[in-house]
Amino acid sequence: MTERPVDQAASNEPEQPGNATAKHQNVSLLAVATTTAERVTTSADIEARLRGVLRRLRLPMGLLERVAGVIERRNWGEGQTFQDAAIDAGHRAMAEAGVRPDEIGLLINTSVTRPHLEPSVAVRMHHGLGLPSSAINFDIANACLGFVNAMSVAAGMIDSGQIKYALVVDGEDADQVQLNTIDRLNQGGRNRKDFMSEFASLTLGSGAAAAVLGPADLHPEGHRIVGGVTRAATQWYDLCVGSVDGMFTDAKMLLKGGMELVVAAWTEARAHFDWADMDRYVLHQVSDVHTNAFVEAIGIPRDKVPTTYQRFGNVGPASIPITLADEVASGGIRRGDRVFLGGVGSGINTAMMELHW
């Protein structure tokens, strides 16, 4: 795929920080909970099923672990579904926050995984969570950035007084896309370029997460959501295209375009936020390559960046809340810490957010 120039008219438009920057006045993250898929699938397991094609293409075993850093990922066990897992995470997040289901005014589902085009996945979650008919519910679909986007939307609605409490949920199921990818690669007729275009599908994992947001003045124990920025480079809309059939990626150009966008957003954010010395940088979990590129692009200390992709793979929009919850549970994030959430999603978009823990 060749690089295309940025649209001239778009490149000459003046920057509009108001459209890309949000400051929140009275919103806190009250709880974040995750549901872990039961079945462990190692990269060695996947490569054993691809042994023939790897041998034919003269690609070494251990590629997933060496290139991506993904040692294992999770898949749902017998009787588990991504929807039930997200509902479970939602119930536990509400319990931890001390918020009753009848107090929730907004439910946003951010799952990339969906069993059908309509209705929304949110309606199944709304019913399973026992939320009132007055609770607004809908999906936000924005690849791997959906969860952070939803937190920003919910925070704005809380600040405006439209709602009091919001619940953001996400459940992902990587099983079918990985099975389809393995079957297709084993059919033959694929060259190295074809294999690498589907490499990212083999790093995906399943999991679920949920977060409760509410007014900070009523919850001094909460974690303040300060604000954040978003930025788009949608001329790269076709660098990563996925469905249940498979995910096809121009990894080199996606990384290049994504890091250019990250630098642009980070630079713009300096006028509104001081993110140079946060206590923790919780990034969307993709791979060693992407994490190191993000760290280098914005110049942050690598030892302040917790990672979970080695154990869980890329769990799409659930990656950031899973990593956040994991770091809190391990004691890596403590009261008073300043926490940065950020990532790049296919499209290309980026989102960044600041929390005061």
Active-site positions? 118, 144
What is the DSSP secondary-structure string of 190-221?
--HHHHHHTGGGGGB--EEEEEEEEEGGG-TT
**C-alpha distance from residue 312 to each of 146, 195, 218, 283, 317 (Å):** 18, 22, 35, 14, 13
Q: Tokens at residue 212, please?
A: 């409760």
Q: Tokens at residue 72, please?
A: 């294992």
- Residues linked to residue 354 through DSSP beta bridges, in sequence order: 227, 340
> Which position has the token pair 């536990």?
92
**C-alpha 99, offset from chain centre:** 25
DSSP 68: I
Q: Tokens at residue 275, please?
A: 């993110």
Backbone angles phi, psi at 250, to 5 degrees: -95, 85
How many other CB atoms are found less than 10 A from the CB of residue 71? 16
| Cis-peptide into 119, omega within 30 deg | yes
Ramachandran assignment for 180, one of left (phi > 0), alpha (psi -120 to 50 degrees), beta (any other): alpha
